[in-house]
Amino acid sequence: MMLTQSAINQKEAQIQWRELIKTGSRALTIELTAQQLDLLVSYIEQLSKWNKAYNLTAVRDPLDMIKLHIFDSLAIIRCLAKLNGNRFIDIGTGAGLPGMVLAIVWPQKIVHLLDTNGKKTRFLTHFKHLHQLNNVEIINQRCENYLPELGYDVILSRAFATIKDMLNGCQQLVTLDGFFVAMKGIYPAAELDAMPANYCLLDCDVLQVPGVDAERHLITIQKQPT
């Protein structure tokens, strides 16, 4: 069967996206499998498609999505690995960032994605079922109202709220020795100064995101034992 020009163009685009993701992940010293590359390419394809109708992200160009979303999410993998967590929840996940990328890279870990926006959680549910991602669960709810049966080892947020709001709104979600991890742009000095006294800053990693000329910091916080 002859392919249409549109199908040919789409196939060429997928090859370009795959090579860019492979190059960027290697720059971050992450070696993705062929299946993981396929999933990330599919994620970009589906996000681009749904974005036209549902405005899931302000980033329109798929190549920019790879740099600003995929690489931004991959850049935290090595830092998260040091925490040895098995249960993660991405608060205010939006279109699934960084949670869906994390779930693809770490299929053996449990990753829950929470957001109040129904359009975004419908997109995430679609992608989960499209690829039968059994380690992913989608939650359409406010974080302060969510009461899970089991706590999470790591609470993640990416430009979701202030650190103080994150800690106050998600305190019921974390295990006793769990971590709060916030992805930030510039170093959030004022937010850390406003942090509740019973929490401590454990680490601040300066991240280098391939193809992105902007500051990135990863803030790791833990509640102090009483």
Per-residue model confidence as pLDDT tens digits over 71-81: 999 999 999 99
User: Which pLDDT score is estimated for 32?
Assistant: 98
Full-model pTM: 0.95
User: Which pLDDT score is estimated for 57?
Assistant: 96
User: Three-class SS string for the chain?
Assistant: CCCCHHHHHHHHHHHHHHHHHHHHHHHCCCCCCHHHHHHHHHHHHHHHHHHHHHCCCCCCCHHHHHHHHHHHHHCCHHHHHCCCCCEEEEECCCCCCCHHHHHHHCCCCEEEEEECCHHHHHHHHHHHHHCCCCCEEEEECCHHHCCCCCCEEEEEEECCCCHHHHHHHHCCCEEEEEEEEEEECCCCHHHHHCCCCCEEEEEEEECCCCCCCCCCEEEEEEECCC
Per-residue model confidence as pLDDT tens digits over 149-199: 999 999 999 978 899 999 999 999 999 999 999 999 999 999 999 999 999
Average pLDDT for the chain: 95
pLDDT higher than threshold 80 for residue 4: no
User: Which pLDDT score is estimated for 1?
Assistant: 52
Of all residues in the chain, what percent carry a pLDDT higher than 90? 92
CATH of domain 8-223: 3.40.50.150
Domain boundaries, the chain: 8-223
